[in-house]
Each structure stands twice: as C-alpha cells, then as structure tokens.
Structure 1
Amino acid sequence: MKKLLDDVNRSNCAVIYDIIHPLEEGELPQDTIALLGSRIVHVHMKDGMPFEDPMELNWKYTKLGEGHIPIAEILQLLNQAGYKGFYSLEWETKWRKELQIFGMEPEIVFPAYYEFMQTACHPLEK
C-alpha cells in the first residue's frame, strides 16, 4: 500500500486501515503504522484469530477483546503517530458465517464495542 501511495504521490490519496488484514498477511501493527502513518484517515476495528485450518488465509472474526489482535497496542501506536481520525466497528454479518450466530447481533455487539473502546482509549480514566 505504501508503494502505491508513493507512486500516486497525491496529498488527497489516503488509506483506511483495517486492522485485521495486515495481520492476516503476517505484517505487524507497528510495521503497518510506521509505513502508512499520516496517510491513515480512518480505522476499521475488528478482532479475530487464525482459523485452525492452516489453509484458511482469512482470520475468524470475534467480538472485540476476544481475539488475538493487539488492539490496545494498535491504538497506542496510532496515537503516537498522531492519528486524529475515527474508529469504526466493521461488523460483517452478511458474509461472515461466524458472526451469524446468537450473541453476535448488532444490538449486542455495538454497545459492547462502545464500552470496549471507552476502556481501551481511556484506560486510566476508568
């Protein structure tokens, strides 16, 4: 992505950082944020873990805080990089079978996301 941004070389070209995708490709958050830094203008939040089947490249999505994504570290790295944009929960129930089960409904997950982010973004205030 950095190479593409460098090749385009336009100030109005930026990225949405979906925190799970670089991890699925084996890239660490500190590397992603170091490469993209100020070009990140929006962050898609989600959590997950690798499927047990090693042939499955995508990760299995979970509720925030129940997967293997180092969310607190990512938030800290983004803060250190000067990120001032928004964080949005990307809840893909339409095509993610693991999210189409009881307990994963938006009316349950969205309030839990809000509480999780309040704690993760302001850990010393709680």
Structure 2
Amino acid sequence: FSASERMLAVMAQTRSSAVGILWDIDNPCKHAGESVQETFAKLAPYIKHTHIKDSLGAGADGKLTLPGEGDLPIGDCLGLLAEAGYDGWLSFEWEKKWVPQLAEPEVALPAYLDFIRSETRRVNAR
C-alpha cells in the first residue's frame, strides 16, 4: 500500500483533477524502501496534502518518534515541496491512539510546531 507505483496506478485509473494524493512521507520510505526523492519525483504532480511524522528504523521494527528525533529526512521533504511550489497542507500525524506509549499530545503538538517552524525557516533560507 505504500509504494508510489501503486498510487500512480490509482491516479491513472481516476483521471480526475478532483482526486489527489496524500503523501505520508514515512510510509513509502520506511515500508516500501523508497527514497523521499524517488517518491516525490513520481507523485509530485498529484500531491495535495502531506503528513509529517518521524520514526527510527523501518518496516515493522520502526518506532515513531517526536519530529526531529527520528531518521526520516523531513527537511529534505519540505525542501522538495518548496522547490516544486507546493501550496497544499502539511499536517502532523501523531498515532497516540494506536501507539499508547507515544508522548501525550500536550508534548507532541508543541514539539511539532517548534520543529516545523525551524525546518521551514531553514528551507526558506536556502
């Protein structure tokens, strides 16, 4: 479900400008073994919404982390989006309901805001 080729197949069947892709930056990288550059190159024309999350490790052994504490190249993703003129949404995906050991939202949401502000400033300064 995470491979960009599958999403391209769906988009080829829909052929509608009303349908787009939600790019969950973690899934193709960690579950399908794609680089963020590879995924973005394939899906960029269709991306309308982007999920931001971070993790350490890949696949079933991966562990979700607060933004900036994992090994996902979030800054690279933001850079790719900016270079392409992306004007869609960025949303923080925090899976506390399904992963109870994660930090509480009162910790995670401010951490995300600090991280995303810092990263977007860095990307915009390029």
Deviations 1:6-25 (A, max 9, x none): 12211111011111100121
Q: Distance in 2 between matches of 1:38 and 1:98?
A: 36
Kept in 2: contact 1:61–1:98 (CA 8 A): no
> In structure 1, how many angstroms separate the alpha carbons of the residues matched to 2:50 and 2:65?
17
Q: Which residue does the alignment assign to 1:117?
A: 116
Letter of the 1:74 counterpart: C
Letter in 1 for 2:63: K
Matches within 5 A, 1:1-126: 1-24=7-30, 25-50=32-57, 57=60, 59-99=62-102, 104-123=103-122
CA distance in 1, matches of 2:17, 2:90: 21
How much does 1:57 deviate?
Answer: 2.9
Say which one has the larger Rg. 1
| Runs of 5+ consecutive residues of structure 2 not aligned to the other structure | 1-6
% identity of equivalent residues:
38
Question: Could you tell me which amino acid in structure 2 is paired with residue 63 of structure 1?
Answer: L
Question: Cα distance 1:42–1:83, how it changes in 2: closer, same or farther (>3 A)?
Answer: same
How far is 1:80 from its partner? 1.3
How many Å separate the matches in 2 of 1:15 and 1:33?
A: 11
Equivalent residues of 1:29, 1:74 under 8 A apart:
yes
Contact 1:38 1:82 (8 Å CA) reproduced: no
**Please, what TM-score do these two structures have when normalized by structure 1?**
0.85
Q: Which runs of 4+ in 1 moved over 4 A?
A: none
Letter in 2 for 1:32: T
1:24-67 CA-to-partner distances (Å, cap 9, x unmatched) read 2101111111111121111111000126xxxx536210000010
- The aligned amino acid for 2:62 is W
CA distance in 1, matches of 2:83, 2:28: 19
More helix per residue: 2
Amino acid at match of 1:33: F
- TM-score, length of structure 2 as denominator length: 0.85
